[in-house]
Structure 1
Amino acid sequence: MTERAHQVCTRCVMDTTDPEITFDEQGVCNHCHQFDTETSKRWFPNEEGKRQLEQIFNKIKEERKSYEYDCILGLSGGLDSSYLALVMKEYGIRPLVVHVDAGWNSELAVYNIEKVVKYCGYDLHTHVMNWPEVRDLQLAYLKAGVANQDVVQDHAFFASLYHFAIDNNINYVISGGNIATEAVFPKNWHHAAMDAINLKAIHKQFGVLSLKEYKTISFLQYYLYYPFIKKMKAIRPLNYLPYSKEAALAELIDKVGYKPYGRKHGESRFTKFFQNYYLPTKFNMDKRKPHFSSMVLSGLMSREQALEELAMPLYDKNELREDKHYLAKKLGISVEQLDEYVSSLGHDYSEYPNWNSRYIFIKRVQSFVSKVLGRNVKNYS
């Protein structure tokens, strides 16, 4: 019996591996329609965007003129955050650059971070995480069998960033997140990395060590304390620029001596394995599909180019074998055990305690307040 082919959107390259996808009579998916009606309204890759970005940066510089730093910039060594560092240098912004080392940095990431920071003349604070705790939590997630294995790194990154910002009296956090390459993403593919309730529940069931140094952000901190009490704001400058990864990479190579990774998220050995092998094998989720779809909708690549790229293998066999051995050794397990974690039955995050009920409640409150005030109330950190 042959496997039935997935229906693919006629405009982008998202398909029915997203179980909630819908198509109109022309075969165009709901992600495309959402981009047209909602997402694109928050995207300004033009002169209007440049004007808005100048206003945002001028406001930050005015508010922070008596402080040592204007904002915090999280730098992973990846393309988005590295290019963003150049943008901020061009606008005369003084960020405190923070790098969170969760133990999975590639050697190339370390090299690129050093090159970017030196070129820009920024101060760098590196937070090296407690590896035994990270390892224990990562193994707990593998045992739990949930889709988003990157929660361990992602939550640590943002929690460390926000806590560090508060400790240093900085209320602006600069993010490399952008609509041009991240506009499309199926909601059911992942659960929010900031759900500390889910993280702690998974660790309680499958972990061994106590998480004494691993920092988390609570639901109330994330949705109330940071944005409304501490007035913290996340700024995404790349949404106000004509952002192209090819152009950004060329500029980084020319000015900084930046070395490309060859693969998306090649700065993290674990993320590369997770996105290119774990997700497609265990959950049939190929993250290239939403990524390429975003780029098709934002005009950075054609649909034909996207389909050609998707026809390429996710992993070179030798590279996969090498990465499996590296990950298994670092996690203190056998390659056979790692393979078993990948091939075992997957589980939905909702099988473990989570913040969903609280999230639904706060969205209702937000909707009520918005109606009373007559304007949209949305200020998340």
Structure 2
Amino acid sequence: MSTLFETVKLNQLTLQNRVVMAPMTRARTSQPGNIPNPMMATYYQQRASAGLIISEATQISDDSQGYSFTPGVYTDEQVEGWKLVTQAAKQAGAAIFCQLWHVGRVSHPVFQQGQLPIAPSALSPVETKVWIADEQGNGNMVDCVQPREMTLTDIKRVVNDFAYAAKRAIEAGFDGIEIHGGNGYLIDQFLRTNSNHRTDNYGGNRENRTRFLLEVVDAVSDTIGSDRVGVRLAPFITFKDMDCPDIVPTILAVSEQLQTRDIAYLHLSEADWDDAPVIPESFRVALRSVFTNPIIVAGSYTQARADDILQHGYADLVAFGRPFISNPDLVSRLKYNQALDDLDGATLFGGNERGYTDYSVFSHRE
């Protein structure tokens, strides 16, 4: 039997297997208010044969949004909506964490009450687009704008926003939260020299560039406990103008700090496209040497690759993303070597049940 299907402990949680459903933006919230809804509860429940579900990236505040219809977890209405999701997932057997994010400069004034997005530094607009839609779901990809540099007051407020959102996530029934520190969003922008040109205590050397992330981790841990806190990092992902020559040693340095804080896990986001960079084994060895708590890896993993990295001890759990979209019963399909269905790319973001909750399920009789 593959080690992928073994039960595993994650602090006080016993996971039914080592399979993780990766966080994936699907943009299906109810409007106005970016509120999770029963359709989302069905979606997560269908995929709750995973040991751990990490929710789609979730706003911590009004100014943390960068795409239409992505959920928040800071209003009473959003918390009530998430309760439907967490109850459904847990009833079907999965543990569930809420991924918290602030997009930083990857945004647009339409999400900022007409103001500029915030970022570590006021640099030229990042070369990426955000999806902006009306309440009927009709939208377009729109260029980002030049952000304004965060003040120290802004930094303190956002740290507090992460802590508050974590508190609300636990109230909503989540088992814990994951801080999104990768993929070119706000925390990642602080970590990298090319997006962080600050000259104060939040810019320059590695200690300063990692300060914001560690302050967020400390504030969230003080609020809900470090055993309920995961962190996602993405050292080898360079889209959204994030090609920083110092990012790998920076990630290793901050991972050592995260180990001293005894967080629940570190989630390594690896690129999942065809010509993605290969993660060198030397990095995996170095990461494991400084971070001994559970590590989750995500990025185009097959069952064979998953078993290999688990057996080498470089990871403890393996996250699957796109295959979980079109195969809600992914765990069974992997376990019984069944073919995987392809996803409908046109239905990834926004819309209704089509391409969301209507994928077929493979039936296996023991």
Provide the TM-score with structure 1 as the length reference: 0.27
User: Which is richer in strand?
Assistant: 2
User: Which is richer in helix?
Assistant: 1
- Structure showing greater radius of gyration is 1
**Higher relative contact order, chain-length normalized (CA < 8 Å, sep 6+):** 1
